[in-house]
Amino acid sequence: MYVLSTHVLTYRTWGKAKITVFVMWVVAGITSCMSLYFRESKYSSTTGHFHCRWNFDEHISSHVTWFCVHFLLRFFVGFGLPLGTMVVAYIIIIAYLQRRKSQKKLLRRKQDRVTLTVSTVVVVYLACFLPNQISNLIYMAQGLGILPQSDVPSLAQYNIHLVVTCLSWGHGCVNPFLYAFMREDVRLKLTETVNQIGCLVPIKDRRNVTEQTQQTRGQNSRK
């Protein structure tokens, strides 16, 4: 992330991009192999439907081990590693911008906008993924007998599980819009489009929005 932001022309090549994507797919495939063995479809007499579930037999020691490995992988590889990478990369980027600011090569407004974007991205990531990871760790602790577990999960537990799962999946939908709408020119263009439809601002105020958008575009083209 830091390299792509500060050394774009030097490091962004097709060969390195292909190798990076290939390695990421290989690692993702290896970590997903566990699902091929431990997941199966079971018929539920309660709902009358087949459900795809994890099948870890608590009476088999190796299954208990893989049960722990599965949830620890989800926590460290699926949550901790991306979070740590983001935090380190963004700290380096902000430090890089601070140096440029001290050399009077960067406006304070631009640095504040980048800092706000970085902070928002990290906060949204934590808000979407942390509840799901806490839920997974609690489930793992209950499966290992560390925490007490009721024979029949309550409706509240089921609803909480659905909410935190939807939050984690929803992050992939929110993130692209988050990056896009942190840009001032995108926000102004959206405002201009909505105003042209006549939904928000009176006709006499639309010209000001259009002029502001054009000024922003001119500033961006000179960067």
pLDDT above 80 for 202: no
| pLDDT of amino acid 155 | 77
* pLDDT tens track for 132-151: 999 888 888 887 788 887 76
Bigger pLDDT: 149 or 209? 149
d(CA 62, CA 59): 9
Beta bridge partners of 44: 49
Q: Is the pLDDT of residue 2 over 50?
A: no
Average pLDDT, the chain: 75
Which residue would you say has higher pLDDT here, 193 or 163?
163
Q: For residue range 82-115, what is the model confidence (pLDDT) as tens digits?
A: 899 888 888 888 888 777 766 665 567 777 777 7
Interatomic CA distance for residues 131 and 167, integer angstroms: 8
Task: From 134, 122, 160, 126, select the one nearest 71 (Cα to Cα).
Answer: 134
Q: What is the DSSP string of 138-162?
A: HHHHHHTTSS---SS--HHHHHHHH
Query: Which pLDDT value is given to residue 130?
Result: 92
Expressed in percent and rounded to 5, the helix, strand and coil fractions of the chain are 75, 5, 15
Query: 76 or 64: which carries more pLDDT confidence?
Result: 76
Q: Which residue has the higher pLDDT, 140 or 217?
A: 140
Report yes or no: 196 and 170 within 8 Å, Cβ to Cβ.
no
Distance set, CA 79 to CA 3, 100, 136, 137, 211 (Å): 22, 32, 12, 12, 43
Whether pLDDT at 1 is above 60: no
The lowest-confidence range among 46-50, 180-184, 219-223 is 219-223
Q: How far apart are CA 29 and CA 111, in angstroms?
A: 39
Question: What's the rounded Cα separation, in Å, for the pair 30 and 157?
Answer: 31
Residue 190 reports pLDDT greater than 80: no
DSSP secondary structure code for residue 105 in this structure: -
pLDDT at 7 over 70: no
DSSP reduced 3-state for 131: helix
The alpha carbon of 59 is separated from its chain's Cα centroid by a whole number of angstroms, namely 36
Q: What pLDDT score was predicted for residue 209? A: 47
- Over residues 11-20, the mean pLDDT reads 78
**pLDDT bucket at 10, cuts 50 / 70 / 90:** low
pLDDT bracket for residue 22 (50, 70, 90)? very high
Tokens of 40: 């199966």
Averaged pLDDT, 195-207 = 55
Element (H, E) at 57: none
